[in-house]
């Protein structure tokens, strides 16, 4: 069983589901995430920030996931989330990541296209896929805050030009979601989503900021062509909530693994809930 890229997963799951992309924050989460996918016999995208990849180590991360994929026999894509550093993306691909996201959304469109095209050529030569971004998704990403006022909806004409000229496999679109949102619900611009979906055939639309979207709106997003849905904040928040409970009762002689197990179980539950939610009925 090999790791797959986004293009392969999108093709295999066409008309069945959007695929959940779950942010790995630490190694402890990994088995729980993959066991959740295995229990549902569903594919999963595991994604990391550059910071997480450097914290765990690219080689350890890749080899750990490869071991679990072989053990559990699940379809998995390992994806580098939002990254502006092209050398880091090349390192990820060389280390065994099967997908990367070059985020040039803060650049002028032509510069974003030029850089993304370079990443696409490097990735495709190594059987990896590429996600790009047009428009700016608000909220906090790796500690960098983009205010909701500064969030810019994706322009369909820009998105079409970007996809045509770069050859990307997936595109993150800004339709009203924000990163790090879990206190209120996002207001999705469905008219824009429908326009993007009908204009961008053959490329996977990606929803960032999935935590702030109601279940009803999420089902509608998937029905309207979303192929990949990112889940990050909810995993981080839930892990912290669980370890806050268990560690507060611990003594120096308590087995550390017992303190982490409830958090890992919660991660598995979230992966399963979201994976079922992203399935087309």
In the 8-state DSSP scheme, what is residue 183? S
Q: For residues 133 and 105, is the Cβ–Cβ distance under 8 A?
A: yes
Tokens linked to 95? 């280390």
Q: Is 81 noted as a catalytic residue in this protein? A: yes
Distance, CA of 148 to CA of 93 (rounded, Å): 32
12, 39, 59, 81: the active-site residue: 81
Distance, CA of 93 to CA of 83 (rounded, Å): 13
Distance, CA of 253 to CA of 255 (rounded, Å): 6
Beta-sheet strand order (sheet of 144-146): 144-146, 138-141, 178-179
Is the C-alpha dihedral spanning 10, 12, 18, 24 positive or negative? negative
Token match 């909701």: residue?
A: 148
Q: Burial code of 81-120, b = ≥16 C-beta within 10 A, e = fewer?
A: bbbeebebbbbbbebbbbbbbbbbbeeebeebbebbbebb
- Identify any residues that bridge with 152 across adjacent strands, giving them in sequence order: 136
279 closest CA partner among 43, 73, 46, 76: 43
Tokens linked to 132? 């790009």
Residues with a catalytic annotation lie at 81
């Amino acid at each position: 069983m090999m790791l797959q890229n986004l293009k392969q997963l999108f093709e295999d799951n066409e008309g069945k589901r959007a695929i959940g992309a779950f942010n790995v924050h630490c190694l402890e989460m990994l088995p729980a995430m993959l066991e959740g996918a295995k229990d549902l016999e569903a594919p999963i995208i595991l994604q990391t920030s550059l910071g997480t990849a450097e914290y765990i180590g690219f080689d350890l991360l890749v080899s750990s996931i490869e071991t679990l994929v072989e053990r559990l026999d699940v379809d998995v894509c390992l994806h580098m989330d939002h990254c502006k550093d092209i050398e880091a993306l090349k390192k990820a691909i060389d280390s065994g990541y099967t997908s990367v996201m070059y985020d040039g959304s803060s650049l002028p469109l032509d510069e974003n296209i030029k850089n993304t095209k370079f990443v696409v050529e490097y990735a495709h030569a190594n059987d990896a896929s590429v996600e790009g971004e047009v428009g700016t998704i608000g909220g906090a990403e790796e500690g960098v805050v983009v205010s909701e006022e500064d969030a810019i909806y994706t322009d369909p004409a820009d998105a079409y030009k970007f996809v045509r000229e770069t050859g990307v496999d997936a595109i993150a679109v800004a339709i009203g979601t924000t990163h790090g949102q879990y206190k209120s619900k996002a207001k999705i611009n469905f008219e824009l989503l429908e326009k993007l979906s009908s204009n961008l055939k053959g490329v996977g639309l990606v929803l960032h900021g999935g935590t702030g979207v109601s279940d009803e709106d999420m089902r509608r997003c998937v029905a309207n062509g979303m192929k990949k849905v990112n889940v990050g904040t909810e995993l981080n928040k839930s892990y912290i909530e669980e370890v806050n409970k268990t560690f507060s009762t611990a003594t120096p002689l308590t087995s550390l693994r017992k303190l982490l197990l409830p958090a890992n179980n919660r991660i598995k539950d979230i992966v399963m809930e979201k994976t079922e939610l992203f399935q087309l009925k």
